[in-house]
Amino acid sequence: MAVKTQSLTIRRVAGALGAEIGGVDLSADLSDAVIAEIRQALVEHQVIFFRDQALTPAQQVRFGARFGPLNIHPYVAGMAGHPEVMEIIKEPEDRTNFGGGWHSDMSFLETPAIGSILYGLEIPEYGGDTLFASQAAAYDALSPGLKATLEGLRAVHSAGREYSAGGHSAQKRKSMSVVEAEGAAGEFVHPVVLTHPESGRKALYVNPAFTMRFEGWSRRESKPLLDFLFEHARYEAFTCRFAWAPGSVAFWDNRQVWHFALNDYPGQRRHMRRVTVDPRPSELARAGAKAATAI
Ligand code: SIN
């Protein structure tokens, strides 16, 4: 059953997260009130979906910028004239896709992105869905004992593995230009349990792509607990799955959601455009501290 807010219709798509939003044209110059309703839906449902949109790169940038400054990816080239727009393209002859593993966007940065807005232009006839997993639901399901242990921990994140030669993200794809990070990727520390600055809800904040170890622990010591969390965090009941059509948009909250782009459409083309929203300086200040500390 869809719920009607002032301007939107909201229909939940799964138990843990996800809602399809109707009644809004994202290419329009939306009022502050509508943007606030979309933001509230994002925080509450963790990932929100829109159908039948038509967005030029400039319109996607304008919509994204209503939620915060837009990120320019350090390793993936942006569109000519729109450096904030990342084109995610898998050509029929490409073997690896981009984003084909569970992750939270940009957790490898000192100030990770709060949200990502992905717009589908060309969608394979079958396959190419995106999976999402609620890290808030994953946290809620832990025992009080493990929650207490994790509360005190921080974890080290880096792009070093994913974006180095041989890393999944740095694989050569015909229509995407990705530079290798090699030794240049820094390491940044984030809390293992993140308290959402807008909802106050807690979520796990480690992911298999970018989390290297717990702060003050060796990799070997960290591995068993990280492996447990990575497996726990993608339990089916914490997930939802989005089947794209041309004109679909997914907007996810990286502070409480993992995502995974399925690579099950060999020989077909998939073309998406993403803008990624950073926190505003005032949001970092409200959180009481910088989001991360360089080590
Ligand atoms: C990404 O990780 O941002 C890509 C997701 C997708 O293409 O479905």
Pocket test for ligand 1, best of 104, 130, 207 (most atoms within 8 A of CB): 130
Q: Are β-strands 47-50 and 19-22 bridged in parallel, bridged antiparallel, or unpaired?
A: parallel
Q: What is the pLDDT of residue 182?
A: 67
Residue nearest to atom 1 of ligand 1 (CA): 99
pLDDT band at 145 (very low <50, low <70, confident <90, very high): very high
State both tokens at 233: 């965090």
**What domain range includes position 84?**
2-294
Output DSSP code: residue 133: E
CA distance 147 to 125: 43
Report the domain count for the chain. 1
Q: What is the pLDDT of residue 5?
A: 85
Q: What percent of the chain has pLDDT over 70?
A: 93
pLDDT band at 284 (very low <50, low <70, confident <90, very high): confident
Q: What is the pLDDT of residues 237-251, one digit of tens each?
A: 999 999 999 999 999
Q: What is the pLDDT of residue 161?
A: 82
Pocket test for ligand 1, best of 91, 106, 118 (most atoms within 8 A of CB): 118
Q: What percent of the chain has pLDDT over 90?
A: 81
Residue 253 in this model has a pLDDT that exceeds 70: yes
Choose, from 45, 73, 105, 273, the residue flagged as catalytic. Answer: 105
Q: What is the pLDDT of residue 288?
A: 43
Q: What is the pLDDT of residue 282?
A: 83
Residue 289 in this model has a pLDDT that exceeds 80: no
CATH number at residue 67: 3.60.130.10
Q: What is the pLDDT of residue 292?
A: 46
Give yes or no: 45 in active site. Answer: no
Asked whether 118 and 250 are in contact (CB, 8 A), the reply is yes
Q: 221 C-alpha vs ligand 1 centroid, how far in Å? A: 31
CA distance 159 to 240: 26
Residue nearest to atom 2 of ligand 1 (CA): 99
Output DSSP code: residue 170: T
Residue nearest to atom 4 of ligand 1 (CA): 99
Give yes or no: 73 in active site. Answer: no
Asked whether 170 and 181 are in contact (CB, 8 A), the reply is yes
CA distance 85 to 275: 5
